[in-house]
């Protein structure tokens, strides 16, 4: 299978490298990392075993052409690049699989790709890109995939089988929208509080006064402090309530599942925390503002999520980009 990977950060590089190691024809679309990957390939450091692969490297989508599978690992802050990056890689047979965080990515793709060609994937993995072409795999690695707006097609199961053959645990979901909300029960508390913790508990208690007060907290420190852990759990419960109000079968057990799996990660820095520390735009709209808007529209009171969004907006105000989902200048 010819596979193109757009967005070769931690997620795109890790899964693309595993597929390449399994013998698939994998093409990486690269910018800043092109020279390194072209010369040295991609190196994965993992408790499951280190390895290096040499995917085909390209600087422009036209150099790759239509693929059988297009995997998108871009930050959602770069979704405005879809019209220039995606069409040259998509033919009538191409399955387009976005592995991006949050809500609204499939809808953004559907403006330029036929909806029936779109799939979504949720990655449950701890990764960091530590240098060009170098990925540290810390824990987990499973992927959940599903069709955008419809039941899984035979091709969905074929892709899942290919992932599993490459050593990637993969499950097919009958309801991609629900799977997105289930993933938000981790992303919202841990990505969100990883950054918001820099404003302290005082900032979460009084978002109007939120400002940078101290360092960001890794996942282990959030769970080692009883008050932060309570906020984590309250956010998870609010996301569960929001998902239920939208008609999804969200289980109470998600709270313990997400807290339990996070305890095994150690001192992990989620991607939003790393972006914040590096002065990059945060994925606020897809990960936080859009879930808040939908929960409110469903009539659910979500005070913790509301406060979190306000704190994140204040800490990141100069960098909020326009991604087409909501106003770039204010928290919903």
Catalytic center residues: 183
Reported as type and span, the H/E element at residue 137 is strand 134-147
- Residue 65, class by beta-carbon neighbours within 10 Å (0-12 exposed, 13-18 middle, 19+ buried)? middle
67-118 tens-digit pLDDT: 999 999 999 999 999 999 999 999 999 999 999 999 999 999 999 999 999 9
223-273 tens-digit pLDDT: 999 999 999 999 999 999 999 999 999 999 999 999 999 999 999 999 999
Can you list the domains of the chain with their CATH numbers?
A: 2-174 (3.40.50.720), 179-319 (1.10.1040.10)
Residue burial 295-308, b: 16+ Cβ < 10 Å; e: rest: bbeeebebebbbbb
Query: SS3 sequence, 52-98?
Result: EECCEEECCHHHCCCCCEEEECCCHHHHHHHHHHCHHHCCCCCEEEE
Of the chain, the end-to-end C-alpha distance in Å amounts to: 42
Mean pLDDT of 7-30: 98
Q: What is the pLDDT of residue 38?
A: 97
152-211 tens-digit pLDDT: 999 999 999 999 999 999 999 999 999 999 999 999 999 999 999 999 999 999 999 999
281-302 tens-digit pLDDT: 999 999 999 999 999 999 999 9
Kindly indicate the confidence band of residue 318, based on its pLDDT and cuts at 50, 70 and 90: low
**Token reading at 21:** 């190691």
Q: What is the pLDDT of residue 317?
A: 73
- On the question of pLDDT at 321 being above 60, the answer is no
């Amino acid at each position: 299978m010819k596979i193109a990977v757009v967005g070769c950060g931690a997620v795109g590089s890790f899964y693309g490298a595993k597929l390449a190691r399994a013998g698939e024809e994998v093409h990486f679309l690269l910018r800043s990392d092109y020279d390194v990957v072209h010369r040295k390939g991609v190196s994965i450091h993992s408790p499951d075993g280190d390895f290096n692969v040499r995917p085909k490297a390209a600087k422009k989508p036209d150099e790759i052409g239509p693929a059988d599978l297009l995997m998108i690992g871009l930050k959602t802050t770069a979704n405005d690049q879809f019209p220039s990056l995606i069409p040259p890689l998509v033919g009538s047979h191409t399955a387009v699989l976005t592995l991006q965080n949050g809500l609204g990515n499939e809808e953004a793709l559907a403006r330029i790709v036929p909806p029936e060609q779109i799939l979504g994937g949720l990655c449950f993995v701890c990764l960091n890109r530590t240098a060009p072409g170098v990925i540290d795999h810390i824990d987990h690695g499973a992927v959940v995939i599903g069709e955008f707006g419809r039941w899984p097609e035979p091709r969905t199961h074929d892709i899942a089988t290919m992932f599993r053959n490459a050593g990637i645990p993969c499950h097919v979901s009958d309801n991609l929208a629900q799977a997105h909300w289930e993933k938000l029960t981790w992303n919202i508390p841990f990505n969100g509080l990883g950054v918001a913790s820099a404003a302290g508990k005082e900032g979460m208690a009084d978002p109007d006064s939120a400002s940078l007060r101290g360092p960001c907290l890794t996942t282990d420190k959030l769970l080692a402090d009883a008050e932060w852990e309570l906020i984590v759990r309250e956010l998870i419960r609010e996301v569960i309530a929001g998902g239920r109000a939208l008609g999804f079968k969200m289980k109470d057990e998600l709270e313990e599942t997400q807290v339990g799996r996070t305890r095994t990660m150690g001192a992990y820095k989620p991607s939003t925390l790393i972006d914040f520390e590096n002065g990059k735009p945060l994925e606020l709209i897809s990960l936080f503002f859009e879930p808040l808007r939908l929960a409110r529209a469903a009539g659910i009171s979500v005070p913790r999520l509301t406060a979190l969004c306000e704190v994140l907006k204040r800490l990141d105000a100069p960098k909020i980009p326009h991604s087409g989902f909501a106003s770039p200048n204010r928290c919903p």
